[in-house]
Structure 1
């Protein structure tokens, strides 16, 4: 009887031990599953957060480019290309479902490109503003000069009908051409703006026996296709009239025909039609035009 009781106690202890082991194993398994679930949730949360952060950076880049493009500067084409790269990357990230850290270097590169382009764009805007102010000022001066020139031309035409002979000197045969200067010093005629190094301007002062002899000064005005006065760009007053000239041609006149040739050096000449005017003080005495391709 006592032996049976001892056997029952031993079996009970074994059962209890097995159950205890199973309980410990179950608790460990539950703990492991919970820990892994938390890690997965942490990874998912981190991935979503990184994706939102990267997308936010790209949206800010796109907004910056959109604003710069709207200003319609000379860099618009380059800005559009960079903006399109940002949009493409946004689409790629939006479609991705995994780790977006591989895109961070590309985002950083786009951000650096944007900083460089924005800095260059700001410089261009400032330069354009300055050039606009200068152009407006030049247009006003040239506009007044052209109006005045038209009046002078009309007066000269009227005088030519009534005055056959007088003391005024006549400027004839005005010609202008562009030349390229070789290293040897030889000048080669050209009609290409990109090749021109100097403009050669020539005219003839006709013989006039009753004119006053002595040193004469002629104001030569050269206006390019962009309405810019080339050369010295100095302004002189004749009473209430202003004249912006390129250079002064000084001639020693002794009542005989004089051939005058002057050089106007320069670089980066613009393509288009140029206008050349010669003034005797405020009076327009000759004009011509030529074209550089």
Structure 2
């Protein structure tokens, strides 16, 4: 082969080689662009998935304070993973699969936690409902208690009124009290007198009236005679009254009362030297309750 032909053949080979390199470079550039686009798409998809999961976790953290600590830990993991994906370069394409696995693991954990959140929500809703029912029951009981308290107070008032009426009804009343001043004759016989200077005794006569309400049995009857100066005549002692007061009495008699009418006579002996002119008041008391009085005037 002549030198001219070798030169021509070399040029042709170089041209073919140059064309091949150009085509190869173009092909590699095209593959790289495609790979870069796929990488960017994958990277964007991963970031989008993580952003959605992070948003769900953030919402739950805000709503559920009781488990927020656990959720915040998981949220921190996802945020770190998202930041790592953002910093990926094209030459780290093989890490995409690794991050895919991590995201799948996080999604499983996410599902478990959300199931727990739903369970807590259900329990909380039930507790809220139970609380509402309990409050309603308490309100009803309070209303019933208030009504019963009012009714009890009314019954107390009625009871006291009834007790007062029974107490009043149980008081033994007496017939009008009759009193006669008596003088003693030389024979020892007592006859009536109107003169104070001749009075040796007071004869007091009255009846305990019938009362079926009061308790039968022994009753203490007290007679008090006082002059115009409120001085008790021939005092024998002091007794207490049911109203809290006290009286000094002239005579006392114990009787057995059987709810029927009972006549009573008291003869009160006095020293005629102690009896002055004027009006005398004779009062009667049965079991510490005042029952009536009468007056007698002596000349």
* Length-normalised TM-score, structure 2: 0.41
